Every structure is written in C-alpha cells, then in structure tokens.
Amino acid sequence: MQEDRARDREAPGRRERPDDDPAELTLDVAGDRGARVLRMRGELDMAVAPGLLPRVPDLVAGAPGVVLDLSAVTFFDSAGVRLVDRLARECGRAGARFAVVATPGTTPARVLDIVGFGPPLVAANLAAGLEAVRDQA
C-alpha cells in the first residue's frame, strides 16, 4: 500500500497517481541540467514516508545535485522531516549537493523552520533550490 501511494517516473513532467485523491502523495523524478529534482505532491506523513526511505539511495545515486521540491505538499509531519534528513545524509555520503524547496508560509516551511532546517538547506522556490545545488563547491 505504501509503495502504491508514492510513485516516480524518470521523464520530466510525467507522474502516476493511483486516483484523483489530493491526499495521495506523488513523487516525480526529473533531471534539470545537473540536478535531479524530486517533486512531491500531497501528504508527506507517517503513512507514506517510511515507504520512501528504502528508495533514498536509488533516488540519489549518480546525481551531482538533488533538489527535493515540497512546494505542492499539503501535509508534512515528523516523518517528512525524517525523509529530508535521510536524503541530506545520503547526498552527503554520495558527494551530491542537496536543497529542499519549501514555499514560505506553507506547512513544510514552518515545520522545517521549527526543527532548525533553514537556509542554505531550504530554498523558497525551485529556481533558488536549483541555483543552490549548482553553485555549491
């Protein structure tokens, strides 16, 4: 069930969704000139995040930079924080740069701020996130 709630495609702009329920989480994986963008939509909570954790090494493997875009996430709890932390650690191990996009004022941005994740890890929009992973040395 958890695997059914989070799906990915390698082609930009393509995603699968099991149904039209806005609470379902979707994960799009796309390349964007030197960075892998992981776009999430829906709820990132304890019902789905644990199912994504085993996929983290594959999501990071071979990418020079990874941007986790949470701008379309509607619910975000401590399980989402754990996923962000796991992605950051995996990127560190793989030598990949990492940034998280969380639009100011949204639930993901507030939660990440509460736990002490802020700039430079967190960017306000996708363009800033991409710039952060491309410009880091």
96-115, pLDDT tens digit by residue? 999 999 999 999 999 999 99
Print the domain residue range for 78: 2-135
Q: What three-state secondary structure class fits 36?
A: strand
- Tokens at 76, concatenated: 């975000």
Q: What three-state secondary structure class fits 98?
A: strand
Q: In this structure, which amino acid lies at residue 78?
A: S
- Tokens at 51, concatenated: 């199912």
| Mean pLDDT (the chain, rounded) | 81
pLDDT tens digits, residue range 12-26? 333 333 444 444 556
What is the residue whose two structure tokens read 């990874």? 66
- Provide the pLDDT for residue 101: 97
pLDDT band at 2 (very low <50, low <70, confident <90, very high): very low
Q: What three-state secondary structure class fits 51?
A: helix
| Residue among 6, 19, 91 at smallest CA distance from 46 | 6
Percent of all residues in the chain with a pLDDT value above 70, rounded to a whole number: 76
- Split into its structural domains, the chain has a count of 1
What average pLDDT score do residues 46-69 get? 92
Starting from the edge strand earliest in sequence, which strands make up the sheet with 26-31, in order?
A: 26-31, 36-44, 65-76, 97-101, 122-123
- Provide the pLDDT for residue 25: 57
DSSP for residue 115: T
- Provide the pLDDT for residue 118: 87
pLDDT at 94 over 80: yes
pLDDT at 89 over 80: yes
Whether the full predicted model's pTM is greater than 0.85, yes or no, is no
Q: What crossing angle do the helices spanning 107-114 and 78-94 adopt, rounded to 10°? A: 70
Question: What CATH number should be reported for the domain holding residue 121?
Answer: 3.30.750.24
